[in-house]
């Protein structure tokens, strides 16, 4: 009976421990971790956490953050001071306010807990360098068959041109009213799970953006007679705003989503996950730090913006025959962990991440896991 009571108490205590705490090794501080860091423009949550910690994704543990704070860390701004408190059994990070008459004074700090500030969220420190991944907030596009079936279609171009560019007009069908901005794409290649061959989605070639200037079935007053029984349907009119590749007849359109704010604190998934590198963006097979990769994990696997995954290289198998006598023996070599990837865009079965650390090239079919 006593054993059961103790077991129940242990389970209850474990439920109160933040995710990632207790089940892993103690948080390790960086070799030269400072006592404080003054936040400056251009800092990122990843960079600041790396200043204090050997494992940046364990930032929530030393901040003692709950789930809401992980997803909305709009309380770190330039000019604030991040203070490392080493007084307890485990290190803790807090916000502080510098006090003292001049920089020459001995640095003293008033410790403060995260609080609400009046500054715009746009001025808050982002998770990772926005300039590196800005183009990827709207591209790449992962298109499933159901998306392609409802996508708008470019049926004509300005004055019958084969391809068009910024400022030109295109005409498209299946463009419902009330949606002003659209992404233009051309479905390119299937994204397959490297081992099973399962198609996880289609990575579309992002062509550009367009804005609706006249909705379907609406003509200008001087454009001709309306309402005649033999009149064909009138497509929507759109103006091309930006172009990465030329837009032509037959290209597709999907509503342009609002870019998701990269406000999540770097953190490991709550549960164990395992997937593979599906592709390296821009069609190459290998890449390195600060490049974008797609992994075979998505919303269905619990992926969210801010998740950090470790990268592992498959070393394959080795065959050994002692003294070339007897049957050959096969050995499965252990995988090598060599890097970290920060997830910044998530689809149903695919997620895109930025390689933050890499001890070698990142290759298609490498494994990704909870660090």
Task: Give the residue from 68, 101, 128 where a domain finishes.
Answer: 128
pTM of the model: 0.71
Closest-CA residue to 371 (of 357, 352, 360): 357
Question: Are residues 149 and 232 both part of a single domain?
Answer: yes
Q: What are phi and psi of 50, to 5 degrees?
A: -70, -25
Question: Are residues 149 and 203 both part of a single domain?
Answer: yes
**What pLDDT shows up at residue 211?**
96
The SS3 of residue 359 is coil
| Separation of alpha carbons 278 and 106, rounded Å | 52
| Separation of alpha carbons 64 and 285, rounded Å | 39
**What pLDDT shows up at residue 309?**
96
The SS3 of residue 97 is strand
Question: Are residues 97 and 38 both part of a single domain?
Answer: yes
Number of domains making up the chain: 3
Question: Are residues 114 and 18 both part of a single domain?
Answer: yes
**What pLDDT shows up at residue 276?**
95
Q: Per the domain annotation, does 265 fall within a domain?
A: no
Domain limits at 167? 139-255
Q: What are phi and psi of 308, to 5 degrees?
A: -115, 130
Question: Are residues 171 and 145 both part of a single domain?
Answer: yes
The SS3 of residue 164 is strand
Q: What is the mean pLDDT of each run of 10 residues along the chain (371 residues)?
A: 36 34 70 91 88 89 78 77 87 71 43 43 74 72 82 88 85 94 87 90 88 80 52 90 89 83 79 93 74 93 93 87 80 90 92 90 92 91
Compute the chain's Rg from CA coordinates: 26
Q: Per the domain annotation, does 155 fall within a domain?
A: yes
Question: Are residues 124 and 27 both part of a single domain?
Answer: yes
| Separation of alpha carbons 338 and 139, rounded Å | 27
Question: Are residues 53 and 98 both part of a single domain?
Answer: yes
Question: Are residues 250 and 143 both part of a single domain?
Answer: yes
Q: Per the domain annotation, does 118 fall within a domain?
A: yes
**What pLDDT shows up at residue 170?**
94
Question: Are residues 218 and 326 both part of a single domain?
Answer: no
222 burial (CB, 10 Å; 0-12 / 13-18 / 19+) is exposed
Task: Give the residue from 95, 128, 161 where a domain finishes.
Answer: 128
**What pLDDT shows up at residue 230?**
62
Q: What are the E-state strand segments in 179-333?
A: 181-192, 199-214, 236-243, 247-248, 252-255, 274-280, 286-287, 292-295, 308-313, 317-320, 329-332
Question: Are residues 163 and 66 both part of a single domain?
Answer: no
Q: Per the domain annotation, does 2 fall within a domain?
A: no
């Amino acid at each position: 009976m006593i054993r059961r009571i103790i077991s129940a108490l242990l389970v209850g205590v474990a439920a109160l421990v933040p995710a990632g705490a207790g089940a892993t090794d103690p948080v390790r501080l960086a070799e030269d971790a400072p006592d404080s860091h003054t936040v400056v423009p251009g800092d990122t949550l990843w960079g600041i956490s790396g200043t204090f910690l050997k494992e940046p994704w364990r930032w929530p543990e030393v901040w003692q953050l709950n789930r809401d704070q992980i997803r909305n860390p709009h309380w770190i701004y330039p000019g604030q001071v991040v203070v490392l408190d080493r007084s307890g059994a485990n290190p803790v990070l807090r916000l502080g306010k510098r006090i003292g008459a001049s920089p020459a004074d001995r640095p003293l700090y008033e410790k403060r807990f995260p609080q609400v500030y009046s500054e715009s969220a746009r001025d808050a420190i982002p998770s990772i360098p926005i300039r590196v991944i800005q183009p990827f907030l709207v591209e790449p596009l992962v298109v499933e068959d159901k998306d392609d079936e409802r996508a708008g279609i470019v049926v004509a171009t300005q004055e019958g041109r084969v391809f068009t560019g910024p400022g030109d007009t295109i005409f498209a069908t299946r463009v419902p009213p009330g949606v002003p901005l659209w992404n233009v794409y051309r479905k390119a290649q299937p994204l397959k799970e490297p081992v099973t061959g399962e198609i996880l989605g289609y990575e579309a070639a992002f062509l550009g953006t367009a804005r609706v200037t006249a909705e379907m079935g609406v003509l200008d007053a001087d454009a001709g007679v309306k309402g005649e029984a033999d009149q064909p349907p009138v497509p929507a009119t759109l103006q091309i705003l930006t172009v990465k590749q030329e837009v032509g007849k037959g290209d597709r359109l999907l509503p342009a989503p609002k870019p998701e704010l990269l406000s999540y604190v770097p953190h490991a998934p709550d549960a164990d996950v395992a997937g593979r590198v599906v592709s390296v963006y821009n069609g190459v097979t290998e890449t390195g730090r600060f490049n974008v990769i797609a992994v075979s994990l998505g919303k269905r696997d619990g992926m969210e913006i801010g998740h950090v995954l470790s990268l592992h290289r498959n070393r394959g198998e080795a065959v050994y025959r002692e003294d070339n006598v007897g049957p050959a023996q096969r050995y499965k070599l252990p995988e090598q962990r060599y890097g970290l990837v920060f997830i910044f865009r998530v689809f149903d079965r695919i997620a895109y991440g930025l390689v933050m650390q890499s001890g070698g090239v990142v290759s298609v079919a490498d494994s990704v896991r909870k660090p």
